[in-house]
Structure 1
Amino acid sequence: MKRTYFQILAVAAVGAMCSCSDFLDPYPSAIRSEEYILTNPTTMQGLIGKCYDYMAQNYNDNEGAYLDCATDNAVRTSTTDVLRRFAVGVTSPTNDPFETYWDRDYKGIYNVNMFLKDDRGLNMRYMLDEHLDELLRNRLWGEAYALRAWFQWDLLQKFGGRGTDGRLLGYPILLEPVRVWEMSPEEMRGLRFERNTYDECVAQILRDCDSAYKYLPIAHRDFLVPNADDRRVLGAQNWGRLDGISAVAIKALVYLTWASPRFNPDGDVERWRKAAECAKEVMDFKMTVDNVSGGFSVGRQVDWCDPNNPEIVYASRYKSSNDDMERAFYPGGFQGNGTMGATQELVDAFGMADGYPIGESPEYAYDPANPYLNRDPRFYS
């Protein structure tokens, strides 16, 4: 188990992939030219705001709980479900459950690169008041880097792995908006993007996180903004947007995965140290500075709609209220449909009360006849 308390979604690495140009196409608009978008403060902010629409907004899809069904953690009961077929190796490129995320992530990266190019977003004048304008510019500039880190991290999770030559590869790093609509058909046919190495992708994500942290407020909380007038652009009204502590959390996730044996063949322990260091910074902040609701408690139910819930480091914008996820786990005929279920492997992944894996704890003996005794408190939650 990964010893961080913020939610982690992981996915097995997949092989080589084909690139396409759809994600680089500009958004069609009958009333706004590109020049207008890039010179108008409202539409420039819209480049950043639109990125949040590309982030996950629920759990009952192929990157939410269903994603675990591609691993040993859970099973989809339908034999024709795409992730069930993916898990047993009988899916095909025409039925790729992750294709939509490739397209979505690069749309977000394109928006960010448009905002960052030639310092457009930082040089824009958004407000008449110079002080508030500086606060808003810095916040948006930091968000742009944080968003690009987020989308790149999503790409690395879903598409990072060993290429056909055995090298650890990531995704094609794009730091400039590629204007495919200005290319000739001949240029389009020659448009190719090579995958960067896994380490290069990690380094780019970490750089973007550090840039984001430099410009962003540590958290979107009113009590962290003592000047009431500054709350016109800072503070709790921005809950749902990435902040400084979110950037540190992304770094913790990146380091943790990069440290794992799959992506750390030389066993570099410094990666583990950095993962722990970043995770501790996040948890210390949530437990002390941002201790708005009594601190973190393993026995407390997470309320993803409550911005004051201490377990939430970052939550994307809430989309709708439904009980599809619960019904998927409940048995058929008992307010559910039983479309997925946890495995024994997931149960065994939770260690004992002292944090050691089952069977390895010096303090708590694992009893197969009473397997739920003295387990990690999160197991009971």
Structure 2
Amino acid sequence: MKFQQFLITILAFVLSFTSCTDVLNMAPDGNMQMDEVLSDPDKVEALLNRCYNNIPQKGYSYWFFESLVVAASDDGYTSDEAQGVPTTGLYTDNNSASYHHLRDAHDGHGGNNTGYWTRSWEQIRLCSQFIELIDGAAVNKETDRGRFKAEARVLRAFFYMELVKWFGKVPVLESTIPFDSDFSTMTRASVYDVAKFVAADCDAALAEPNLPWRIDNPNDAMRVTKALALALKTKAMLFAASPLHNEGENHWEEAYTTAKDAVTRLKTNGYELFTKTTQPAVYGNGPGAAFRQLVTQNADYSATPRDKETIFQVRSGSVFVWHIGYIGSNMPNTYKSGTSPTQELVDAFETVDGKPVLDLAKPYKDEKHLQPNYNSVNTLYDPNNPYANRDPRLYETVLMNGSVMQFDSKPVKIETFVGGAHQVSFDVTNRSASRTGYYHNKMVTPGASGNNQINNSNWKYYRLGETMLDFAEAAAEAGHLEEARAAANEVRARSGMPNLPAGLSQQELVLRIRNERRVELAWEEQRYFDLRRWQKPDGDLSETCKWFTAMVITKNGDGSFTYKRQNISNNPRGGWQNRDLLLPLPLNEAATLESVTGQKWQNPGW
């Protein structure tokens, strides 16, 4: 009885309900027999729809409207750290295997943003079950059968990748498993083996002629496509090749060939970077205008879409970001500023001549980031005028002292200097002011405010620019330096940035591409995972995620400004230790699996 309890509570999400009892032959909703479902084409499609459940909505749909994963990376620091929300536990390092604030936080806004272990396994079981049943099910037309099966395969691959990102190695289960199976031999597969399984599912979907490359009907929003299959294959191999997961094996050449094939096929089938704004009245005509429009507007579903870059977007989850994640300080109808960009993120943006501000190999001379290690060949950057002549994406991502924004239909000049309207505050109870001296604006449509209430876009999981940077990284790591440069340069050109210089060494190019990822993909929940997969299994995040700095600005009598870096807190922020490279498996589940298999299942340090 105890073992059956284990099966039901721990692995029910990957088990087939195969039993002689009627209840176990029921459909997932528990209200009808499976035969009844499979004989009705509409119910078969509803069964497929269940496979789409539990896709996290991300963005600002985490509990209490926080951009939680960004706040847990070195790109952001929240002003909600003392409010008893998930970041409170993260920043004070109050996490354990029994309760982790990223894994187990309250999902009060219905965003499916927690319970990743349980939710993902539930969806994997539903997908596997559907794949096994669809060949004998009734469908409205025969072309549906192949498409539905392909969709279930892509969704299974999607949820496997969610598990890998958070937990690393997981079992590979190619089919549903009967209750009476021998679970004593179950093991956690290497990330490479998981990636190969993901690739096999995606390849099967790509071979299905009835799975489309793009969704062109709004009624089908969030349905998966061949484009998503390629993006998933690329991401899976990128993770498998990365130091945290490669187990000493070199998989970069395979990651490179996978990513190159993906980018080539995506472009052949109509995907391209969004390079010119279609709303200059909103976004202006500057070099960063298209970039900002891309990330703030929902992708459109059309045979000839405006946005040909977005690969996969959820269909809901947008919120009033101008109210809770923009500039809450002394602005009407705002509640809080939420997570603000760190000085470390601002430092990552190059000058317009394409030179990094800091030495990327060692950005800071000290542990606490108070002494920047400036790039000796950069002559354009001026520490006494630090926001001039920077990558245009900086101005589309960050509000800083002197920025001008439209709020309530009038221009507002940002004053983050001491005594200014939007000054930095280190009072942990002050949730309206920035902790960093900066405010976020990347996901906010210009002009959004109380009298122009525009939500952020629905979350975009994959876009061509991201997959091209996956390709650039894999190519650089595999030694294909010119191809790596070309892919990164294409992304940079969209925002008016010059090419990466020729003649960089392999290690120099890898560092430049890693920094390019940080700049291009800021606030898109990539940095949290990038920092972790770039570490070796015995590494930690002490160089990036232990100490954080703000810019404290003093306005002088002559109108000039003095800039001083200051640590946000006198204490290290939680989340930088070796154990923080991966989330813990739920405590009870890990213990039960270990007792059944005799193997170690829990992630290191938990």
Instruction: Please report the TM-score for the alignment, with normalisation by the length of structure 1.
Output: 0.72
Flag the 1:22–1:30 CA change in 2: closer, same or farther, 3 A. closer
**For 1:298 and 1:279, how far apart are their aligned partners in 2?**
19
Q: Is 1:377 equivalent to 2:402 in the alignment? A: no
Counterparts in 2 of 1:346 and 1:111: CA distance versus 1, 3 Å:
same
276 and 342 in structure 1: CA distance in 2 versus 1, 3 angstrom threshold: farther
CA–CA distance in structure 1, aligned partners of residues 270 and 214 of structure 2: 10
Q: Which amino acid aligns with 2:163?
A: L
Q: 1:113 aligns with which of 103, 128, 143?
A: 128
Q: Which residue of 1 aligns with 2:155?
A: 147
Could you give the per-residue CA deviations for residues 89-116 of structure 1, whole angstroms, max 9, x where no partner exists?
Answer: 3312232232511111111111111111
1:247 to partner: Cα distance: 1.2
Cα distance in 2 for residues equivalent to 1:116 and 1:303: 34
Partner of 1:323: 320
Correspondence for 1:175: 174
Counterpart residue identity of residue 335, structure 2: G
Aligned with 1:246: secondary structure?
helix
- Counterpart contact for 2:272–2:309, Cα < 8 Å: no
Letter of the 2:147 counterpart: R
Distance 1:217 1:122, change over 3 A: farther
Task: Give, in angstroms, the shift of residue 241 of structure 1.
Answer: 0.3
Greater alpha carbon shift after TM alignment, 343-352 vs 245-254: 343-352
Aligned counterpart in structure 2 of residue 275 of structure 1, from 259, 262, 275:
259
Distance 1:67 1:38, change over 3 A: same
Residue of 82, 85, 102 corresponding to 2:86: 82
How far did 1:277 drift?
A: 4.8
Tell me if structure 2 keeps the 8 A contact 1:67–1:83.
no
**Corresponding position of 2:509:** none
Report if the CA contact (8 A) 1:152-1:205 is conserved.
yes
Q: Contact 2:221 / 2:314 at 8 angstroms: preserved in 1?
A: no
Q: How far apart, CA to CA, are the structure 2 residues paired with 1:346 and 1:250?
A: 27
Structure 2 counterparts to residues 237-252 of structure 1, below 5 A: 237-252=219-234
The Cα of 1:214 is off from its aligned counterpart by: 1.5
Tell me if the contact between 2:356 and 2:378 (Cα under 8 Å) persists in the aligned partners.
no
Render the CA deviation track for 1:41-63: whole Å, top value 9, x for unaligned: 32222222112221123522459
| CA RMSD after TM alignment | 3.7
Q: Percent identity?
A: 23
Measured at CA, do residues 367 and 267 of structure 1 come closer, stay the same or move farther in structure 2, by a change above 3 Å? farther
Match of 1:199 in 2: 192
State how far apart, in whole Å, the 2-side matches of 1:176 and 1:84 are: 40
Q: SS state of the match for residue 297, structure 2?
A: coil
Unmatched 5+ residue regions in structure 1?
A: 1-18, 128-132, 161-169, 222-234
- The residue that corresponds to 2:420 in the other structure is none
Is 1:310 paired with 2:302?
no
Match of 1:358 in 2: 357
Three-state SS of the structure 1 residue aligned to 2:325 is: helix
- 1:337 shift after superposition: 1.3
How far residue 151 of structure 1 moved from its aligned partner, in angstroms, is: 0.5
Max Rg structure = 2
Distance 1:21-1:31 versus aligned 2 partners, 3 A rule: same
Separation of aligned partners in 1, 2:335 and 2:73: 23
Q: How is 1:1-381 mapped onto 2 (pairs within 5 angstroms)?
A: 20-24=10-14, 29=29, 31-62=31-62, 65-76=67-78, 77-79=80-82, 80-86=84-90, 88-96=92-100, 97-99=102-104, 100-117=115-132, 120-127=133-140, 133-160=141-168, 170-180=169-179, 193-215=186-208, 216-221=211-216, 237-264=219-246, 265=248, 268-270=251-253, 271-272=255-256, 274-275=258-259, 277-279=261-263, 281-282=265-266, 285-287=269-271, 297-301=290-294, 302-304=296-298, 306-307=300-301, 308=305, 309-319=307-317, 321-324=318-321, 326-334=323-331, 335-353=334-352, 357-359=356-358, 365-381=380-396
Question: How far has the Cα of 1:327 moved from its partner?
Answer: 1.1
SS of match in other structure, 1:242:
coil
TM-superposition CA deviations, 1:132-165 (whole Å, max 9, x none): x2322221121111101111011110111xxxxx
Is the alpha carbon distance of 1:287 and 1:326 closer, same or farther for their aligned partners in structure 2, counting shifts above 3 Å? Answer: farther
User: Quick check: 1:149–1:205 contact (8 Å CA) kept in 2?
Assistant: yes
Match for 2:324: what amino acid? R
SS in 2 for 1:137: helix
Per-residue deviation, 1:323: 0.8
TM superposition score normalised by structure 2: 0.47
Aligned residue-pair number: 327
